[in-house]
Chains A and B, each alone.
Chain A
Amino acid sequence: MNITLLILLPLLTAIVILLMQNATQVKWVSMMGATLQFVLAFVLLFSFYKERQLGNTSQMLFELKYNWFPSWNISFHFGVDGISVAMIMLTAFVVIAGVLVSWNVTKMTKEFYFLLILLSMGAYGFFISLDLFILFFFLEIAVIPKYLLIGIWGSGKKEYSANKLALMLMGGSALVLVGLLGVYFSASIHSFDLITLSLLHIPIQTQLICFPLLFVGFGVFTALFPFHTWVPDGHSSAPTAGSMFLAGISMKLGGYGCLRVATYIMPEGAKEYASIIILLSVIAILYGAFATMMQKDLKYINAYSSVSHCGFVILGIGMLTKTSIIGSVMQMVSHGLMTALFFAVIGMIYERTHTRQVSEMGGLLKRMPFISTVLFIVGLCSLGLPGLSGFIAEMTIFMGSWQHPDTFRRVATILACLSIVVTAVYILRAVTKISMGPLKDEFKNLTDATWNEKLAALILIAGILAIGVAPFWFNDLVSPGAEIIMQKISPITIGIK
């Protein structure tokens, strides 16, 4: 199949949205667009499988290359491997759910959906790019819609949060840019092409400079400690769909970049800085978890827990074993689905109770069984219950991390393991406080989820279960991609059995 469809379809949807007259039309057009994306993602998944079954073992499938700026050696080079397919699936899931939960947006509906769809285009473009310039282009495209989504449709100190988010993410992408330029000029052939670069040997001095630039730059997107502070503010101010996109898709851009760009083309740099990465990620995991314990606002709780969960992504990459890398991809997808669902639920609750303070809620299970059940499921997923995706991802990361025999990584893994207790503590505190206990008087007349909310939640839960109950297909999907990354790393990695 032609994977540029993944970019063209959202683009087309966005344009059509602009031409629509009223909010209802806009909603249905976006819904249709999102559904088509969803279908397209599945088509991609199945044709990917088919192609692989037919014995196509090339690294990237459905490759396409159009020259763009020939004088800079820039081209539209697209292609997907299992990792990208997984991320695309994630995006499709989150987009359709995001469109569904925003059904009640009344303020500037057209612009809202336009930005949502634009954001999805950025994400798809990012995930299928094999040219670093294009990748960077799409990375940045996805920043400003977030700023506007938060700033216009947000709540609380939205302007502050929007600014902080935009500036920190731009800061991250500035570092990425410098790193990319360093890589571009390091080799004898000046190229942004990922495949070309991965075949070249980038001088170790360049790697030592560019790897941290790229890793930290992408790391900002994925809430690398200590550059995570945009996460709580940004998520908490964003409108529901905005938070979903932010946590579900946008934070994954960073993780994907860390893996696909930084680690893949500069394995020696990755090795050199591995211990620092691990240190930072373990700090993020524990620190995020402990900070979450003290939060009172639901969105802050989820935002800080995202910091903690995204720490696992970084940890998996930092450990540099095949299993841990697979785990980190799984964690990206799993966290994407889970946190999107969590924000969706928070949005639903907020719409009804008009508060996000955990202490002000109680006993909602009685009035809103569906929403509360979803809240339970997502909470359990977050704390790593088997059968749901979070467990699979975390365990894979732990198993991968444990393959190193050295004490430092052992201790890091054990600390990371301990965080799941802390996670259990804060998740249960919040979830039980909200849905259990005596029902408060002011909540006597609340209603349960509407059709669109139910559909959104069910779609995301389906994704979570698909990975959680049957992880083997996902493992098979991602594993060849991780294998290729590892092939670059393993010749220089000593001491891993």
Chain B
Amino acid sequence: MSDTATSARDLPVPARGQSLRFYGIWVIAAIVLIVLPLLFSSGSSLTSFSLIGIAIIFALSYNILLGQTGLLSFGHAVYYGLGGFAAIHVMNAVTAYDWPIPLPFIPLVGGLGGLCFAAVIGWVMTKRAGTVFAMISLGIGELVASSSLILRSVFGGESGITTDRTALPHMFGWSFGPQIQVYYLIAAWVMISAIAMYALTRTPLGRISNAVRDNPERVEFIGYDPHVVRYLASCFAGLFAGVAGGLTAINFEIANSAYLGAVQSGLVLFATFIGGTSYFFGPILGAILVTYLQLGLTNLTTVWQLYFGIIFIGIVMFAPGGIAGLLMMHRPLVRSGTLGMVIPSYLLALVPTLVLVCGVILGIETIAHYTESQGQGNVIALFGIPFDATAASTWIIAAVMIVGGYAVARITWRRIVDAWDRATTDARDRGHLA
């Protein structure tokens, strides 16, 4: 799904195996989505899967901006939130006036809500690109979030607007009361949206968006107005973000101003960037990981925000392609069969790196507990081992692990670089790298 991968399909006669593999991925994805709740059927898993599904659509929609068009937005949650409110209002209207609209179509309403707002405000926002666009999106995000508290009749103040999803006309005899039914609804929309957004990357507009991302100035000299391209891209991003918002509204049966806020915008940026913006599936990985971290990490540590920050900084500095970028780096090696040359150095680096990571975690948790609890409840249970935050030994262990781990890890990292160089040289010799 990378640029290089798709262009392989541009060959005058696309290879049959290629397209089979291509459709195969989607079919497998669909099967996974169907089977998942059968394997893990507890209420919490269903809730988690539902949230992850929504996060996937949201992150993919964000990547239309960031990855495809090169627009860094700090206010993407505006579309998501407005989509959610549109969905809630229509759901309430359907209930009140007995319109014949069943629940499964409500996300579309959310999408239209996001699209409408993008169509109106997007023209102004997309006048500028780059860092200016980022600041503008931040400002617009604040504007809408603040206004939502003033326009009470629409946004319901800070307590928001509630609805009852079971009151809508039923479809296939499903009431959508039980979470499992909502999960399948979300799963269906994940498939529809993902396919639609993938298709979008393969249209003339999608390709021109890439060109605008790479070099907006040059685009003007091949007949395209980059402003229009950015505008259209933001409309599509708004549409799918709205779908995600509509699904959230169905899932929680409530929409409130927290949907529109900076936290939500920040999370989607995290998910998309950590997953990787250069590949279509990057944001999917990111959405799964970040939602999972958000649900799990917050119960394990109170300073989860610090870990988020550190992970993010690490990705920006050392792997700007995100997780997807890291994975895809290995593809030429896999193809040329030289992957085996780097694996041993990875394994070797794993041990000291893990020690380093554990040291950092221990250090952070120790400080956090030391300052937060002042005097009581100092025992941290980390990896099942109890540590006393006030004991000097804990601090020393953490320090030793960090310093020692780093010293050793550095050596092993150099080995990785060497091994990597050798493997890529081999791969190039075998004709699998440009």
Q: Do A and B bind each other?
A: no
Residues of A within 8 A of B (CB): none
